[in-house]
Amino acid sequence: MKFKKIAAWALGAVVVAGTAGWFSLDKETRGLLATLPTNRDILFWSVPQRDAAFRALDRLPVLAKARTVAAGATPPRPLPPGPPLKLPLDVDAYMAGQRSAALLIVHEGKVRLERYGLEFDAAGRWTSFSVAKSITSTLVGAALADGYIKSMDDKVSAYIPQMKGSAYDDVSVRQLLTMTSGVKWNEDYGDPNSDVARFNNHQPEEGVDALVSYLRRLPREVPAGTRWLYSTGETNLVGILLAQATGKPLAEYLSEKVWVPAGMEQPATWILSRTGREISGCCIQAATRDLARYALFVLDGARVGGRSIVPEGWLAEATSERAATGIPGRGYGYQWWTYADGAFAARGIFGQGLFIDPKRRLVIASNANWGGGASDRTASDAREAFYRAVQQAIDEEAKAPPRP
């Protein structure tokens, strides 16, 4: 359905519902209806359209269908308050520059800073974009431990037979996770003709998943395992592989392996593709506090009842450099961005992020809508500087003499 038709439908629904119906809607849905986009591609929406949509993508089925990631019935994992963290910067100015919706710092399991903006709050859900890639990675580890995936060196086509004969036929699960397939791909968010902009609108052959249909046409550029190239399409293919291997929707598997045992406070939702599969490279809607809980779950070794949901040593591999990115001190693991000091991060376009520092027992969760677009370089650099400033503040605090 075209977005112009969606807009017409939405306006008609509002007129029919009348004033009472309008005000019976929650504020996120009202905001989305008031600024409903008239084009299909989120990469080219206006800032006000993104402000409304990022908190409500799962509210209108005509805009995007989603599957629920159920939370458990037990009380959520506590996030007790700690003393306010003294930072060597103006947090208000930083959040304004990020167009920040949420900023949460947890150190040693205690909340040291929690702030919200853009009229967002702790009760809301914000779309994660590529932060979902790192969550998908954890599910791959769980599928290995559960025996659904036999080996990281298995070929992709062993789980997705429709990839046989394509450039992905020689690509392993490990190479798919590290984005070293060697297959041609363009991830330019500003180019409407790039692969990342076009693949969602691809018309597949009958009976073939749209993503599989698109990716199996792509040519090989270099031998598998010889080059790193960022590709959201490949993470989406990881999701299809996972669903094929486990026989479960990803939202169900995420609830079973992470959302319930990690003690999440709210259900999340996972946006579906046109063919009804979770878009594993993107778009888990979750509360910021629950994203921080996910990061703490990873920081603690993804353990449930003293036992990790992933194989022994796998998480250490996943969160350390498996491929060079060409940036000094930065690498790429299994869908995680890595740092030379042992920290690692999940990053989503427009300012979503999780930063995890095992040495300092530190987690930073961020949601935003960058004013400069999907990969706003100024905002991205400022976020990296903020991470370093928080690390510095933690280190200075550790050096300070104990209070009498």
Does a structural domain hold residue 289?
Answer: no
Instruction: Find out whether 10 and 36 touch, Cβ atoms under 8 Å.
Output: yes
Which residue is associated with the tokens 């249909």?
Answer: 213
Here the tokens at position 362 are 């530190």
Does a structural domain hold residue 153?
Answer: yes
Does a structural domain hold residue 303?
Answer: no
Stretch 48-69: mean pLDDT, rounded? 89
For the chain, first and last CA: distance in Å? Answer: 67
Residue 57 sits in which domain range?
3-64
Q: Which of 215, 231, 246 is the last residue of a domain?
A: 246
Q: What is the pLDDT of residue 400?
A: 84
Q: Band of the pLDDT at 274, cuts 50, 70, 90?
A: confident
Domain count, the chain: 2
Q: Tell me the three state secondary structure of residue 74.
A: coil
Instruction: State the burial class of residue 221 (Cβ atoms within 10 Å of its Cβ: 0-12, 13-18, 19+).
Output: middle
Q: How far apart are CA 355 and CA 386, in angstroms?
A: 11
Q: What is the pLDDT of residue 24?
A: 56
Q: What is the pLDDT of residue 17?
A: 45
Does a structural domain hold residue 32?
Answer: yes
Q: Which of 64, 87, 115 is the last residue of a domain?
A: 64
Model confidence at 100: pLDDT above 70: yes
Does a structural domain hold residue 205?
Answer: yes
More confident residue, 127 or 11: 127
Percent of the chain whose pLDDT exceeds 70: 91
Q: How far apart are CA 130 and CA 147, in angstroms?
A: 26
Mean pLDDT of the chain: 91
Does a structural domain hold residue 278?
Answer: no
More confident residue, 82 or 25: 82
Q: What is the pLDDT of residue 193?
A: 86
| Lowest model confidence (mean pLDDT) among 35-49, 57-71, 254-268 | 35-49
CATH of the domain at 160: 1.20.58.710
Q: What is the pLDDT of residue 15?
A: 43
Stretch 182-189: mean pLDDT, rounded? 94
Q: Which of 13, 33, 64 is the last residue of a domain?
A: 64
Does a structural domain hold residue 173?
Answer: yes
Does a structural domain hold residue 79?
Answer: no
Q: Comparing C-alpha atoms, which of 14, 21, 18 is closest to residue 36?
A: 14
Structure pTM? 0.91
Model confidence at 64: pLDDT above 90: no
| Lowest model confidence (mean pLDDT) among 54-63, 163-172, 357-366 | 54-63
Stretch 200-206: mean pLDDT, rounded? 79
Q: Band of the pLDDT at 16, cuts 50, 70, 90?
A: very low
